[in-house]
Amino acid sequence: MTPELQGIGMTSRRTRSRMIQRLREVGITSERVLATMEEVPRHIFLDEALSHRAYEDTSLPIGHSQTLSQPYIVARMTEVLLRHGPVSVLELGTGSGYQTAILAKLVKEVYSVERIKPLQDRARDRLRTLGLRNVMLRHADGGIGWADKGPFDAILVTAAPKELPRDLMMQLAEGGVIIAPVGEEKQILTQAVRHGDDFEVTQIEPVRFVPLLAGVVR
């Protein structure tokens, strides 16, 4: 067993099971999502000093002013996304790689863009440790997406733009869905489904994410 995967035994599994029970209690109903989140070791996506807090329902810092989203938000966004039956998913903001790993267990193809190179490098190592081979990573400004790999069945945005980014939305396949936190001081988790050049927009619930920023960091 690799050092990063130490602690995936009984104690960690019991802790993950308690996390799953809390997710059920706050309204997560997708058994596929719950089973996947119970399987994936969230603690390896954090620095060792914070790993003991990995299964709390809270966001945690991962450096570079970025955070690992709380388990509820990961579960909620993934649950909403899966309702649309996507095969290929574009994730904007790889971050720690935890959301990426959850998606990789649930859909055929994941394309993930991260603007901060050190975060991407660590995420790549973690995904390899878990043996996930259906993820393609790109170091780029997330706001531009990854058009030459599209169109995508779904786009998941893990940082908050001020408004739904239409250029990204045009990288969706017909009937595809984008799920993103939208806003500045007040943010709303929002989904938009593509119908030709029009989009059916639905607001889901209030959230709090770091802002979607332009540019890359090496």
Round to whole Å and give the CA distance between 89 and 111: 6
Q: Is 165 left (phi over 0), alpha (psi -120 to 50) or beta?
A: beta
- Any residues with CB less than 8 A from the CB of 200 and at least 6 apart, and which? 192, 193
| 69 belongs to the catalytic site | yes
Name which of 153, 69, 75 is nearest 109 in CA terms.
Answer: 153
Amino acid at 32: R
Q: What is the C-alpha to C-alpha distance for residues 42 and 28, in angstroms, rounded to an integer?
A: 18
Catalytic: which of 12, 30, 51, 69? 69
Catalytic residues: 69
